[in-house]
Structure 1
Amino acid sequence: MQEQVQQAIDKMTESGPERGIQVAVYRDGELVVDAVSGVADSATGRPVTPETVFYTYSTGKAMTATIAHLLVERGLFDYDTPVAELWPEFGAHGKQAATIRHVLTHSAGVPQIPLDTTIEDLCDWDKICAAIAAQEPWWEPGTQVGYHAYTFGYIIGEIVRRATGKPISQVLLEDVAGPLGLADELYFGMPVSEHGRLARLEEPAGAADWAASMPTDLPMFKAGPLVTWPGADFGNRTDVLAADIPAGGKNSARAMARLYDSLLGHGVQILPPARVATATALAAEGVDQVFGNPSQWALGWSLGLPGGESETAFNMGGVGGSFAFADASTGIAFAFTKNFIAPDFEAASELIRIVMA
Structure 2
Amino acid sequence: MDLQDQVQRRIDELAEVELGLQVAVYRHGELVVDAVAGDGVTPETLYFAASTGKGASATVANVLVDRGVLDYDRPIVEIWPEFGAQGKQRATLRHVLTHSVGLPAVPPGTTRKTLSEQAETLAATAPWWEPGTKMTYHAETFGLLVGEIVRRATGHTMSAVLRDILTPLGIENDVLFALPRDQAHRLATPVEPDGAEENFAMLAEMFEQVVPRTLQPRAAALAEPGHLAVEDASSGILTAHGIAKLYAALIGEVDGVRLLREETVPMVTGPALVAQDELLGNQATLALGYAIGRLGSSAEESPASFGWPGMGGSVAWADTRAGVTFALTKTLFDPAGSASAVEIGNLVAKTLC
Structures share a fold, TM > 0.5?
yes
SS at match of 2:208: helix
SS at match of 1:274: helix
Match for residue 244 of structure 2? Answer: 257
Matched, 1:292 2:281: yes
Code of the aligned partner of 2:341: A
1:222 is aligned, of 205, 209, 230, to 209
Q: Quick one: percent identity of the two aligned structures?
A: 44
- Structure 1 residues 87, 240: closer, same or farther in 2, change over 3 A? farther
Alpha-carbon contact 1:262-1:270 (below 8 Å) kept? yes
Alpha-carbon contact 2:102-2:127 (below 8 Å) kept? yes
CA RMSD of aligned residues (A): 1.7
2:222 is aligned, of 235, 247, 251, to 235
310-319 or 81-90, larger mean C-alpha shift: 81-90
Code of the aligned partner of 1:102: H
1:119-161 superposed Cα distances (whole Å, 9 cap, x missing partner): 3212xx2x12112223221111111111111111111111111
Separation of aligned partners in 2, 1:114 and 1:199 = 30
Alpha-carbon contact 2:26-2:326 (below 8 Å) kept? yes
Unpaired segments ≥5 residues, structure 2 = none
Alpha-carbon contact 1:21-1:337 (below 8 Å) kept? yes
Unpaired segments ≥5 residues, structure 1 = 40-46
Match for residue 95 of structure 1? Answer: 88
Alpha-carbon contact 2:175-2:237 (below 8 Å) kept? yes
Match for residue 121 of structure 1? Answer: 114
Alpha-carbon contact 1:20-1:338 (below 8 Å) kept? yes
SS at match of 2:264: helix
- Structure 1 residues 324, 212: closer, same or farther in 2, change over 3 A? closer
Match for residue 143 of structure 1? Answer: 133
Code of the aligned partner of 2:12: D
Separation of aligned partners in 1, 2:163 and 2:203 = 40
Alpha-carbon contact 1:69-1:275 (below 8 Å) kept? no
Match for residue 304 of structure 2? Answer: 312
Matched, 1:321 2:313: yes
1:189 is aligned, of 175, 178, 201, to 178
Code of the aligned partner of 2:280: F
1:274-293 superposed Cα distances (whole Å, 9 cap, x missing partner): 22211111011212122222
How many residues align? The count is 342
Alpha-carbon contact 2:150-2:157 (below 8 Å) kept? yes
Matched, 1:58 2:47: no
Code of the aligned partner of 2:38: G
How far did 1:18 drift?
0.5
How far did 1:212 drift?
5.0
1:254-308 superposed Cα distances (whole Å, 9 cap, x missing partner): 1111111111212211111122211111011212122222111000000011332
SS at match of 1:316: strand
Alpha-carbon contact 2:105-2:138 (below 8 Å) kept? yes
Code of the aligned partner of 1:306: L
Separation of aligned partners in 2, 1:22 and 1:164 = 34
Code of the aligned partner of 1:104: L
How far did 1:89 drift?
1.6
How far did 1:197 drift?
0.5
Alpha-carbon contact 2:57-2:234 (below 8 Å) kept? yes
- Structure 1 residues 347, 159: closer, same or farther in 2, change over 3 A? same
How far did 1:214 drift?
7.7
Match for residue 204 of structure 1? Answer: 193
Alpha-carbon contact 2:91-2:101 (below 8 Å) kept? yes
Separation of aligned partners in 2, 1:305 and 1:96 = 34
2:160 is aligned, of 170, 175, 179, to 170
Alpha-carbon contact 1:297-1:303 (below 8 Å) kept? yes
Separation of aligned partners in 2, 1:102 and 1:51 = 35
Separation of aligned partners in 1, 2:345 and 2:25 = 10
Code of the aligned partner of 1:329: R
1:130 is aligned, of 101, 113, 120, to 120
Separation of aligned partners in 1, 2:249 and 2:278 = 33
TM-score, reference length from structure 2: 0.92
1:15-68 superposed Cα distances (whole Å, 9 cap, x missing partner): xx21110000011222111000013xxxxxxx1000111111111111111111
Alpha-carbon contact 2:191-2:331 (below 8 Å) kept? yes
Separation of aligned partners in 2, 1:12 and 1:344 = 12
1:276 is aligned, of 265, 281, 288, to 265
- Structure 1 residues 237, 133: closer, same or farther in 2, change over 3 A? farther
Alpha-carbon contact 1:10-1:38 (below 8 Å) kept? yes
How far did 1:345 drift?
2.0
Matched, 1:35 2:35: yes
Code of the aligned partner of 1:79: Y
SS at match of 2:248: helix
Alpha-carbon contact 1:192-1:238 (below 8 Å) kept? no
How far did 1:108 drift?
0.5
Separation of aligned partners in 1, 2:138 and 2:213 = 16
